[in-house]
């Protein structure tokens, strides 16, 4: 086994087990921390694919900013295990069946899948210069149009977050 393979399997096991940790742990804080570990593992995979920029941005945006805000909110809300609504047996069973069927479908799909070979020429695509070039030529429309998405999200933050002045403070 080469170093590459060792790292690959290590990261894979880390990603999957911490992803399982996210959904299995009772404590929401632990869940978020597991999620952060998952992001790190995925970033590691990006580095293995020579996509260093993507790896680092993944860490900055997800682990560094979004997850911190998540932690923030969860810590302030002080969630406990007993506040969680208990699902009925029937609902749990339905969930298990639905999830199991989905799992089977994906498994069947992956089993007989013919995976396309990776393009050899694009192995340096993850480097920031190449990525930038591709983003501004081939993918310029999705890249630019996402700004509309972010703009509307920002407007949303203001519309929802700003205090509305009611004329009569007594009426709710």
Partner 1 sequence: MKAIIATTILGIIMMFAGIMAKEKKPLTTLATILLVILLGVNIWDLTNTSSLAPESLFNNMLRIDRYALWFNTLMTGCTLLYVLLVGREIQKVGEHVAEYFALIFFILCGVYLLSCYNNLLILFIGIEIMSIPQYILAGSDKRNLKSSEASLKYFLMGAFTTGILLMGITLLYGATGSFNIVSFSFLQSDHLNTLALAGILFIMMAFSFKVSAAPMHMWTPDVYDGSPTAFTAYMATIVKAAAFFAFLRLFQVSFGSLSSHWTFVLAIITAATLLVGNLTAVFQQSVKRMLAYSSIAQAGFMLFAILAVNAVAWQGIIIYAVAYSIATIGIFTVLMKLKDYTYDGFNGLAKKEPLLAFVSTIFLFSLAGIPLTAGFMAKYYVLQALIQQGSLLWLVIFGLLMASISVYYYFRVIIAMYFKQGAAELNSPVSGTDKFMLVFTCFLVILLGIFPQLLLGNI
Partner 2 sequence: MRLLLTYSFSSLSSHIHAWLISSMGDGMAALVAEMVIVGISLIVFLVPLCFFLGYMERKVAAFMQLRLGPNRVGPKGSMQIVADTVKLLFKEGLTPTASDKFLFNLAPVIVVVTSMLVMAPIAFAKDFQIWDLSIGVLYVTSISSIAVIGILMAGWSSYNKYSLLGAMRSGAQIVSYELSIGLSILSVIVLTGSLKMSDIVMSQQNGWWIFKGHLPMWISFVIFVIASTAEINRAPFDLTEAEQELTAGFHTEYSGMKFAMFLLSEYINLFVVSAIAATLFLGGWMPFHIGHWELFNHIMDFIPSSIWFMGKTFFIIFIIMQFRWTFPRLRVDQLLTLEWKYLLPISMVNILLATLIAIMGWHF
Applying CB under 8 A, the residues found at the interface with partner 1 are 105-106, 108-116, 137-142, 145-146, 148-149, 151-153, 155-156, 158-160, 162, 164-166, 172
Picked from partner 2, partner 1, none, the partner binding residue 65 (CB below 5 to 8 A depending on kind) is partner 2
Rounded CA-CA distance 50/142 in Å is 23
- Which residues within the stretch 20-39 sit at the binding site for partner 2 (CB under 8 A)? 29, 33, 36
For residue 155, state whether it binds partner 2 (rule: CB under 8 A). no
Specify whether the CB–CB gap between 23 and 99 falls below 8 A.
no
For the bound state, the minimum distance from the C-beta of residue 163 to partner 2, rounded and expressed in Å, comes to 14
Nearest to partner 1 of 1, 148 (CB atom): 148
For residue 83, state whether it binds partner 2 (rule: CB under 8 A). no
Specify whether the CB–CB gap between 69 and 32 falls below 8 A.
no
Tell me the DSSP string of 13-43. HHHHHHHHHHHH-SSHHHHHHHHHHHHHHHH
CA distances from 160 to 38, 75, 84, 152 (A): 31, 22, 26, 12
Q: Which residues bind partner 2 (CB under 8 A)?
A: 3, 29, 33, 36, 52-53, 56-57, 59-60, 63-65, 67-69, 71-72, 75-76, 127-128
């Amino acid at each position: 086994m080469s170093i590459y393979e060792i790292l690959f399997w290590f990261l894979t096991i880390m990603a999957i087990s911490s992803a399982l940790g996210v959904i299995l742990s009772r404590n929401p804080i632990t869940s978020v921390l597991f999620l952060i570990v998952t992001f790190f593992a995925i970033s590691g995979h990006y580095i293995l694919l020579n996509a260093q920029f993507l790896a680092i941005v993944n860490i900055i945006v997800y682990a560094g900013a979004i997850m911190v805000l998540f932690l923030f909110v969860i810590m302030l809300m002080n969630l406990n295990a007993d506040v969680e609504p208990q699902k009925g047996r029937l609902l749990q069973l339905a969930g298990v069946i639905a999830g199991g069927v989905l799992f089977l479908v994906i498994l069947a799909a992956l089993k007989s899948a013919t995976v396309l070979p990776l393009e050899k020429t694009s192995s340096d695509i993850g480097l920031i210069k190449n990525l930038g070039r591709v983003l501004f030529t081939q993918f310029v429309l999705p890249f630019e149009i996402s700004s509309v998405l972010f703009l509307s999200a920002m407007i949303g933050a203001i519309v929802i977050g700003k205090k509305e002045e009611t004329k009569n403070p007594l009426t709710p």
